[in-house]
Amino acid sequence: MSAVSTESLNMVEEALVAQPSDQPEQVAKELFALVDLIDSNGGFRRALTDPSRPAEERAAMARRALTGQVSEQTLNLLVTAASARWSQERDLADALEQVAVSSVALAAERRGGLVALEETVNELLTFIKALEGSADAQSALADSKAPKEALKKLAVSLGGPATSSEGRLLLERISLATRGVSALKLAEDFVEIIVKRQNRWIARVTSASRLSDQQVAKLQASLTKTYGRDLKLDITLDPSVLGGLRVQVGDEIIDGTLSTRLADLGRALKAG
């Protein structure tokens, strides 16, 4: 996906978080249905991605077409997507599919935080491992003539006996492989999306020396206040940082280590 489409994807992802739904799984189901609609209807897809049309016109078209057909949050996500710019027509549906997976992840977070996210990822990984070890299962899931319900049951069974509602939804979606992507590749893509979200729950802390229980508690409270949610601390000892802390949450890095400050000072002196 190009930089332009990636920026638009981020806009839709931000809209998902900014307008939380009481039923994120339902939003995900509706988004998956919209992906299928956009893929199958070339005229609608081109109208929503046509750069010659003003953004307001594309947004109004999306709202007219889907008002009353989906929930208000799903409609708002589509309107946001239609207002954005896409380098290729397919990028719109690709983005909505990714946001659908993110909505499933939100449902898991609401159910049980990081533990539930890990559970969902593990179910997908179990499916991937089972599929990689069975040529028959791969052939069965690639059979376009097979009944959809049979494909769904097969995928869920490959995900393990204790499949969560979130895992079941994703596995059933994967089983259909409606977009020219194999079930195996789609499962891998879904895992990557959730893992990126999962990382937002983990604060990776690097310290030169072992932190006391009191220091850990103070750091935990500070990060919880900063990010508005409880984060799991993953603390690594690294004497090379000399002193201070380096904290990474997702893509954001807070570096207060002495080694970094010394390096910055050295660069400043050279520049001077």
**Which structural domain range is residue 253 located in?**
201-271
48 and 116: one domain? Answer: yes
Name residue 249's beta-bridge partners.
203, 252
Task: Write the CB contacts of 103 (distance below 8 Å, at least 6 apart in sequence).
Answer: 16, 21, 24, 25, 27, 28, 31
pLDDT at residue 115 greater than cutoff 90 = no
- Could you tell me which of 181, 172, 185, 168 has the C-alpha nearest to residue 108? 168
Residue 271 — very low, low, confident or very high, per pLDDT cuts 50/70/90? Answer: low
- C-alpha distances (whole Å) from 26 to each of 29, 131, 165, 176, 203 are 5, 27, 11, 18, 30
DSSP code of residue 147: -
Considering the domain architecture, whether residues 178 and 93 belong to the same structural domain is answered as yes
Of 198, 222, 241, the one marking the end of a domain is: 198
| Domain end among 198, 227, 248 | 198
Does residue 205 share a domain with residue 194?
Answer: no
Tell me how far CA of residue 10 lies from CA of 1, 55, 112, 115, 133, in angstroms: 12, 17, 25, 25, 35
Residues 209 and 192 in one domain: no
Residues 156, 231 within the same domain: no
User: Same domain, yes or no, for 180 and 169?
Assistant: yes
Q: What is the pLDDT of residues 117-150, one digit of tens each?
A: 889 988 999 999 999 999 999 999 999 899 999 9
> Measuring CA to CA, which residue among 134, 235, 173, 200 is closest to residue 31?
173
What was the pLDDT predicted at 234? Answer: 77
Q: What is this structure's pTM?
A: 0.75
Same domain? 174 vs 216: no
Percent pLDDT > 90 in the chain is: 53
Query: 216: Cβ–Cβ under 8 A, 6 or more apart, which residues?
Result: 233, 235
**Burial of 22 (C-beta count, 10 Å sphere; 0-12/13-18/19+):** exposed
Please check whether residues 231 and 179 belong to one and the same domain: no
- Which of 146, 174, 198 is the endpoint of a domain? 198
Query: Is the same domain home to 125 and 10?
Result: yes
The answer to whether residues 11 and 102 belong to one domain is yes
Tally of domains in the chain: 2
Taking every pair of Cα atoms in the chain, the longest distance, rounded to a whole number of angstroms, is 71
* Parallel/antiparallel/unpaired status of strands 245-249 and 202-207: antiparallel
Interval 21-59: pLDDT, tens: 889 999 999 999 999 999 999 999 999 999 999 999 999
